[in-house]
Every structure is written in structure tokens, then in C-alpha cells.
Copies of this chain bind each other. A is one copy, B any other.
């Protein structure tokens, strides 16, 4: 596999990992636009805008967009996060040009007033369902408590208030502030014809107007809180716990991911053996997430309400024990096997490589081959894990529980 790149005069970067053995191509426009670029007034506009991209362009109706993806037999979608909006498609190699043209076209959507108003109802319904169904927006509530007024504390979906108040003109302003070609990376993986890719991108995106679109990265000032939200209609109690973790620009983030596997992977981890396997919790996992200038450990737990207090104590004891006694070589070795095997298995498909290659470039302007990724995992030592445990104490967290309990005692 070979890595190649090219920058258009407009600033749009094209990066590709070429793999002649692949039978498909994966293509994605990574736009540096997400909830952390929003003010409270336009909270949710990045995600809403992503929806609008599929509602028509100056040359295509929404029907045309849908039909053309289907005619190619494309596997396609889009997603919005805190830092990136991604539009992607996986197609057979002979459809490469057509898919690039179509994706490029929807990145200049018409944003028509009536489509905007129709879609607004869809988004409001999405927010309502998210709040009304388990886990009742627990994740967003914990983020808000943990990050406070920092942009990372806001929901990607926005709020019913912000979306209701949002105007099409405000969305157009946001579009003109974030969707500069200099703010967009076109990533491609698989059996890519790179010369053709450059030519098609030049033709489809060359005319996009370039402007300054800086992102302000405010340092986070996390809180430590313990909140209980009462939802009498729930049958389970849902807990989300957040604590500081290595950020996207810190080397320790690799060790952080292995630590999360050791303590809280879905199976075979300390949380698994202590809570999930014996049936004390339906679900108990630890994850690590990284952003520019901020990192996060998140514990998710759901269980019968009456078990909540005991389980929270078990979680805290597991974290404290790890902080003082560290992890074993066997645990680290098992976590490495899991992570390495995931890297290799996901690398077998161009779609599996797309998000890795694209995000690596967007976040760090760097390419990492499968080999390099595996070498990094192999190089992590028990001491590296210990440094993370010491530098980012999991026991110092913000906790939100949502469910039938009116009160939950804080573990000691």
C-alpha cells in the first residue's frame, strides 16, 4: 500500500492509500466542522447541515442524489462529530469518478428554505427520541456537566431550543465560515486511480471559494460532579462517568486505548469479570476518546436500579486498585492482541482504512501505515500504562446517573 497526496490551488487536500489488491474504493470528504465550532445559539447546526447536504444541490434534486448513489450500488452515508463532518461512499472502482462528483456536489447544497423547514422537524424528532429513549441522553448530560460552558460540553444534535430558533440564513453563514476547501480533506483508499482522482476533484471542487476558517481550541476546564437525574418511567439505571484522558496530540493516547481495553473492554476486562459476567450489570465498559487539546475516559454502565450504588463502588475500587497496583503483563498482552487484530481485520476493507487514514490526516497531518500502527501498539509497556493511570486518575470523575432512582449515594 502506498500513500500519496496532492493539494489543489484552493487548499483542498487530497490524500490516498493505494491498494491494488482491493476490489473497491472508499472515498470521503472530511470537513473540519463540528459541534465544537458552534456557538450556543447555533448548537446543532453542523449536524443539521450534514442532513441538508442530501436535500439537493443547484443541479440535483434530493431524489437525484439518492437515485445516483443507488445506481452505483454505493454504500454511503455521512456523520457529524465534535470536530469533523464526514461524507463517504464505498463503490466499485469503475464508479470512482462518478462517486467523487456526486459527493463533491452535495458538499455545495442549495439549503432551500422549504427543505430547511421540513428537515428541521426531522431533527427535532431525532432530539426528542434521543431524550425519551434509554439511556435518555445520559452521555450528553454528562458531557455538559463535565465540560461546563466549553464547546465540547454541547450536544452534536443541538437542543430543541437552538434548532427551533435556527434560521436558514444562520446555517448559510455557518457554511460560509466552515466549508472552505482549505478546511476539507478528500481521503481515498483501495483500488484508487490517483491521477483520475486529482483530475475529478479539480473539476468538481476547483471552483470552491477559499476563505479563512480557523478553529479556536480553548483549553477545557473539566468539573468533578455527581448528579442524579430522575426518570421514573425507566426500568434500568444508566450511568455515564467522565474523567480526563490523553488528548489527540499526546503520545500517551495509545497507552490510554490499551488501558481502556484492560479495564473496560466489552469482554474479558476487569469491569467485564466484576460486573457483566456475573450479571450484576447489563453493560459496563470503559472507552477513551480524543480531541484536539482534550481527551476523555468514559465509563458506561447500566444495571437494575437497586444495584447501582454497589456497582459504582465496584467501578471506583477497580479504578483505584489499578492506579495503585497497575496492570499485569498478561493483561497488557491480551489487550495488544485485541487491538492489533482489530487493526488488521479492519484494514482488509478500503472502508475500514478510510476513517483511519482520513482522521489521522485531519487531526495530525500525518499518514500511518498498518505496519506503523501495529508497531506502536507493540511498543507500549506496562510502565506506559502506569503513567497514564498516574497522570489521568480515573477516580477523579464527573458522574451522571439517569433512571428510576431519585437519589444515588456517591461511592466513597
Contact of A207 with B by CB under 8 A: no
Contact of A112 with B by CB under 8 A: no
In the complex formed, the residue of B with least CB distance to A76 is: B267
Stretch among A144-152, A316-324, A335-343, A360-368 lining the B interface: A335-343
Interface set, chain A 286-338, CB cutoff 8 A to B: 333-334, 337-338
Q: Is the CB of B23 within 8 A of A348?
A: yes
Residues from chain B with Cβ under 8 Å of A267 in the complex: 66, 69-70
The smallest C-beta distance from A102 to any residue of chain B, in angstroms, reads 14
The smallest C-beta distance from A353 to any residue of chain B, in angstroms, reads 11
Alpha-carbon distance A265/B22, docked complex (angstroms): 27
The smallest C-beta distance from A324 to any residue of chain B, in angstroms, reads 24
Residues from chain B with Cβ under 8 Å of A23 in the complex: 344-345, 347-348
In the complex formed, the residue of B with least CB distance to A269 is: B70
- Number of contacting residues on A, CB 8 A? 35
Interface code A121-137, partner B: CB below 8 Å = 1, 0 otherwise? 00000000000000000
Interface set, chain A 255-285, CB cutoff 8 A to B: 265, 267-268, 277
Residues from chain B with Cβ under 8 Å of A70 in the complex: 265, 267-268, 334, 337-338
The smallest C-beta distance from A339 to any residue of chain B, in angstroms, reads 7
Contact of A245 with B by CB under 8 A: no
Interface code A345-378, partner B: CB below 8 Å = 1, 0 otherwise? 1011111000000000000000000000000000
Residues from chain B with Cβ under 8 Å of A71 in the complex: 333-334, 337
The smallest C-beta distance from A189 to any residue of chain B, in angstroms, reads 11
Interface set, chain A 219-254, CB cutoff 8 A to B: none
The smallest C-beta distance from A272 to any residue of chain B, in angstroms, reads 8
Q: Is the CB of A341 within 8 A of B268?
A: no
Residues from chain B with Cβ under 8 Å of A350 in the complex: 348
Query: Can you give 12 contacting A-B residue pairs, CB < 8 Å?
Result: A22-B348, A23-B344, A66-B268, A70-B334, A71-B333, A73-B334, A73-B337, A73-B340, A90-B345, A92-B340, A345-B349, A348-B349
Alpha-carbon distance A23/B371, docked complex (angstroms): 12
Q: Is the CB of B66 within 8 A of A339?
A: no
Given contacts A66-B268, A268-B67, A349-B349, whether A344 and B72 have CB atoms under 8 Å apart is no
Residues from chain B with Cβ under 8 Å of A351 in the complex: 345
The smallest C-beta distance from A115 to any residue of chain B, in angstroms, reads 13
Residues from chain B with Cβ under 8 Å of A21 in the complex: 21
Residues from chain B with Cβ under 8 Å of A339 in the complex: 73
